[in-house]
A and B are shown apart, each in its own frame.
Chain A
Amino acid sequence: MNSRSLQTTIVFLVIGGILALALGGFFGSASRQFSSVLVEFQTWASSRYRGIQDFVTAPRDIVSLRTRNVELESQVSQLQTQVIELQQRVNETEILAALVSFSRSNPESTYKAASVIGRDPSPFLHYIIINRGSNDDIRRGMPVVTNQGLVGRVDAVIADAARVQLITDPASAINIYLQNAETDAVLFGSVTGDVSLDMISQDASVEPGDLILTSGLGGGYPSDMIIGQVVTMRSLEFELFQQATVQPAVDFTRLEIVLVITNFRPVDITPLVP
């Protein structure tokens, strides 16, 4: 080893020893300042490195994020569709449960459930179209109900569908019985979809809230089917009969599933009418 290399070795050992002592905290405040400068420098260097790394890798992340976002949006829309379908099923199940409950509580009749699939194209007429027809033993004149009350009766039938005249149709007239007043009357439909009572005897004492049932007169409907309640009365002394407005039990704007009473055969009394 020549003198120059020996000199270099000694310088390195001295500086290394000073550094070791400084990092080991043997120089007090000078050592702390030195280490803090080092830490700050390392922090600065590290932050710069992260910045550069972000800059280099960011485009790839945006692409992957966008892809992931599209996937998640697709999943959300699928889940929303499922939620809507399940809500519809829940609604249908609730309606069907109510109808089953109704049919169990009225075991004297046999029922066939049908979905409402359309309405008459003309605004002058109040008819619905159901998805059961002569293939399901549906016949003309059969009454149609929901768990809430009377809907109407079958007017025309084809193989897989039938048309039902609602009690709100302007041409509809039903013989009814006012339970509390113990009197008969006739229920008429109207252009607006409202129903009203006419032909109520002037002697009858009818009050708002009185229950309206089918009387069965005329043979068009079975008796004792709920139609609705009296809302207001109109009684004028110079008229032959009283009139009343009616709140139907059935919400005709939200008809989805109905029951057709299949064991009722209407009686045609036309030949007996003088």
Chain B
Amino acid sequence: MRNIVAFPLLLLAVILQSSIVSQVKLLSGYADLPLLILSAWALQKPVKSVWHWTFVACAMLAFVSTMPWLVLVFGYAGMVFIAQALQKRVWQAPLLAMFSVTFFGTLFQHLISFIVLRLSGTPFVFTDVMGLITLPSLLLNMLLSIPVYAFMRDLARWVYPSEE
């Protein structure tokens, strides 16, 4: 039942993302707090509810963002899939796994966003998006990934106490 913490935590993450994180820009990019929380959660060994968390995060973000909900669902689900695949292979080096998931998850999310928005008629230039949005966002996500991972590891111990 402690998994219910997903609702207030993800709600807080979406609010922080919208009100604070989106204002801390590097060029035109900024960090993605819900993505970091989900990727860190997916990397915790005892966690079995990551898909539920992903669904909740996507629903909340779709409510706030103009981004098509399919982009959010595929982007975050893809990131979680990458995290789970990596968790089985590099579980002995969790920080390396977190960096890898953050790296590939951000790239995947931005690639899907770019493709869908481009197809819907928004005049994006690939090099501009890479240089001004994706790479700065990637850097900020990598910087934030360590504290987020530490926080989510402690949270996982609290949510799944008997399995530690």
Contact = CB atoms under 8 A, between A and B. Distances in A.
Given A188-B123, A192-B128, A123 B29 contact: yes
B121 A191 contact: no
Interface string B102-118: 00000000100110010
A124 B25 CA distance: 12
Contact of A193 (B28, B117, B122, B137): B28
A165 B15 CA distance: 19
Contacts of A193: 28
B132 interface: yes
A191 B27 CA distance: 10
Given A117-B19, A170-B124, A191-B124, A123 B28 contact: yes
Interface in B44-89: 61, 64-67
B129 interface: yes
Contacts, number: 77
A120 B67 contact: yes
B30 interface: yes
Interface of B is mostly: helix
Interface residues of B, number: 33
A125 B65 contact: yes
Contacts of A130: none
Interface in A149-192: 155-156, 163, 165, 170-171, 188, 190-192
B133 interface: yes
Contacts of A171: 117, 121-122
Given A165-B66, A170-B123, 11 more contacts: A118-B22, A120-B65, A120-B66, A123-B29, A124-B67, A124-B122, A170-B117, A188-B123, A191-B124, A192-B28, A193-B28
